[in-house]
Structure 1
Amino acid sequence: MSVAMPAAQNTVPSLSLPDLFARYHVGWETRDPSRIASLHSEDSVFHVHDGSEPVHGRDALRRHCAELFSRFDWSFEMGRRFYGADHWVFEWTMVLALREPGGAPFTARVEMLDVVTLNRAGEVARKDVFTNGAQAQAAFARAGIAR
């Protein structure tokens, strides 16, 4: 006698996309690498399109975020958000507190765009971050930071 195995069920997120975005964004606002990484899939890809290589996997992402938060002092200005069936697009401005090589503080603003794709479990499977390259280059050049 054979026993029928239950069909595999697709896992779907229990939260709406705006609620998932809010939960995810808290990790960035509070600079919590563990929280951010916990919301990504094990095989997640995080790619800042600034010439750097993509980060692969949850553990590598946690380390990447910790290094990023220790290196730069920045905050968010929220922009528009667009939600699809399994993704969101988020326009925002990064506000960086930097110093000129002589020590004088200044604030730089860099327009950003995130494209985040979720898997069926509601985990971030991929995050692509696009920067306004001219604004970023000007800010880092003024601060004497090679990029």
Structure 2
Amino acid sequence: MSVTMSAEQNTAPSLSLPDLFARYHVGWETRDPALIASLHAEDSVFHLHDGSEPVHGRDALRRHCAELFARFDWSFEMGRRLYGADHWAFEWTMVLALGEPGGGPFTARVEMLDVVTVNRAGEVARKDVYVNGAQMHAAFARAGLAR
């Protein structure tokens, strides 16, 4: 007797959303662009809503993350995580280590919200990152990095 799997069974995610979130977050905490990209779909979209253009595709995302990690030093303060059938929302605070022009270092805190959609294969299909614009602008202005 031959057993075949339906397309839905064949594309069932291998990790629960909380487990996928945990693995994904490890990639961000350890600054591992390859791990982050490996959890994204080939055609995924990453959009940091700070006025920049969305990043399309796994390879472009890997490069984008490497550039972010090289440019900024930040850590996370975890907030709420809310899970739906195919998505999660994650409130967090970015804690940035910055320096004043001609002055000493300072720490900036910027509230963030991630909205992540997962496809049927259990890959991140889209990540939208919403930033508290006033907090980010104030931090970057103090550091002389305002756009």
Unaligned runs of 5+ in 2: none
Q: How high is the TM-score relative to the length of structure 2? A: 0.94
More displaced stretch, 52-61 vs 13-22: 13-22
| 1:53 and 2:53 are equivalent in the alignment | yes
Q: Secondary structure at the match of 1:70?
A: helix
2:7 match:
9
Q: How high is the TM-score relative to the length of structure 1? A: 0.94
Deviations 1:81-135 (CA, angstroms, capped at 9, x unpaired) = 0000000000000000000001310000000000000000100000000000000
1:40 match:
40
1:131, 1:81 → 2: CA distance?
16
Q: Secondary structure at the match of 1:27?
A: helix
Unaligned runs of 5+ in 1: 1-5
| Equivalent position amino acid for 2:134 in 1 | A
Would you identify which runs of 4 or more consecutive aligned residues in structure 1 move more than 2 Å?
Answer: none
Q: Secondary structure at the match of 2:34?
A: helix
Deviation at 1:17, TM superposition (A): 0.8
1:65, 1:122 → 2: CA distance?
21
1:86 match:
86
Deviation at 1:7, TM superposition (A): 7.1
| Equivalent position amino acid for 1:54 in 2 | P
2:130 match:
130
1:7, 1:110 → 2: CA distance?
46
1:14, 1:54 → 2: CA distance?
27
Deviations 1:31-55 (CA, angstroms, capped at 9, x unpaired) = 0000000000000000001110000
- Cα RMSD over matched residues? 1.0
Percent identical pairs in the alignment equals 85
Deviation at 1:146, TM superposition (A): 2.8
